């Protein structure tokens, strides 16, 4: 059974940094591109970016490219999202997904940016 | 970015009934390779989204044949027949043809 489990969320102050993790199981992690998607409190879905199966290539939403970094550790079957200089508009639930059709999603992790 | 417009925003249905949800894209979703990367997702209350349909009309593993997708180019439709209680939630369309992938605003399916 494919499972994606995110962690690392919480309350963070504006301007701070935060790193989210997503541990994958039930499939060969190193065979798949992976993505991050977020959902705002108003339920708008926004694609953040994705990363190639070997970690050699990434794509980002243009509006987030300078502040968010996606990486992975295939030995640990783990996907990461490094968020820097966070803003109130980054408040959302963050999901990791398999990139192919966004076919499997984690349970999500909430990030709240507030002073 | 490709703008995805879903209608209606909300829908009321009786159990056992049938509904259709429309999704329109601001640009053609036909990829250079000939595929059309239009998907449908259902987010049940308190849960993460789940994939229902991919590439317009292909049901994902384990998805009931009560769900069907159709359309081409910029106009797409999700039909749900014999609606069951477990079908309630918010439906999203999404495109993966052009970067960045984008989603519709969602259609909330409720009981009448």
CA–CA dist B58, B39 (Å, integer): 9
Q: Which residues of A touch B48 (CB under 8 A)?
A: 95, 105-108
3-state secondary structure chain A: CCEEEEECCEEECCCCCEEEEEEEECCCHHHCCEEEEEECCCCCEEEEEEECCCCCCEEECCCCCCCEEEEEEHHHCEEEEEECCCCHHHCEEEEEEECHHHCCECCCEEEEECC
Optimal mutation site among A5, A9, A47, interface B, most CBs of chain B within 10 A: A47
pLDDT-above-70 percentage for chain A: 100
Decide if B66 contacts B79 (C-beta within 8 A).
no
Taking residue B66's Cβ as centre, other Cβ atoms within 10 Å add up to 14
Query: Residue B45: left (phi > 0), alpha (psi -120 to 50), or beta?
Result: beta
Q: Phi then psi for A12, rounded to 5 degrees?
A: -140, 145
What pLDDT, on a 0 to 100 scale, did the predictor assign at position A65?
84
CA–CA dist A48, A86 (Å, integer): 14
User: How far from A73 is each of A18, A21, A56, B99, CA to CA, in Å?
Assistant: 17, 10, 12, 24
Between chain A and chain B, the number of residue pairs with CB atoms below 8 A apart is: 46
Write the pLDDT tens digit of every residue in B42-82: 999 999 999 999 999 999 999 999 999 999 999 999 999 99
Beta bridge partners, A36, equal: A49, A96
What pLDDT, on a 0 to 100 scale, did the predictor assign at position B43?
98
Q: What is the Rg, in whole angstroms, of the alpha carbon atoms belonging to chain B? A: 13
Write the pLDDT tens digit of every residue in A35-74: 999 999 999 999 999 999 999 999 999 999 889 999 999 9
Write the pLDDT tens digit of every residue in B1-38: 999 999 999 999 999 999 999 999 999 999 999 999 99
Q: Which residues of B touch A43 (CB under 8 A)?
A: 90, 106
What pLDDT, on a 0 to 100 scale, did the predictor assign at position A25?
97
Beta-carbon separation of A47 and B60 below 8 A: no
């Amino acid at each position: 059974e494919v499972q994606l489990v995110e962690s690392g969320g919480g309350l963070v102050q504006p301007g701070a940094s935060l790193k989210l993790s997503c541990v994958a199981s039930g499939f060969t992690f190193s065979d798949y591109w992976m993505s991050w998607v977020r959902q705002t409190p108003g339920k708008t879905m926004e694609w953040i970016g994705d990363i190639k199966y070997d970690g050699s290539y990434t794509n980002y939403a243009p509006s987030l490219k300078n502040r968010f970094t996606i990486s992975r550790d295939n030995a640990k079957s783990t996907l990461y999202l490094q968020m820097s200089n966070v803003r109130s508009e980054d408040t959302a639930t963050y999901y990791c997904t398999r990139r192919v059709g966004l076919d499997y999603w984690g349970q999500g992790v909430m990030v709240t940016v507030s002073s | 970015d490709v703008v995805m417009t879903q209608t209606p925003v909300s829908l009321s249905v009786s159990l056992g009934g049938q509904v259709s949800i429309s999704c329109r894209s601001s640009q053609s979703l036909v990829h250079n390779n000939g595929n059309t990367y239009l998907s449908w997702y259902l987010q049940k209350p308190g849960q993460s989204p789940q994939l229902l349909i991919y590439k317009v009309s292909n049901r994902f593993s384990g998805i009931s044949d009560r769900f069907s997708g159709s359309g081409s180019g910029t106009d797409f439709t999700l039909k749900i027949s014999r609606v069951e209680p477990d079908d309630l939630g918010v439906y999203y369309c999404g495109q993966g043809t052009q970067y960045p992938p984008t989603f519709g605003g969602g259609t909330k399916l409720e009981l009448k």
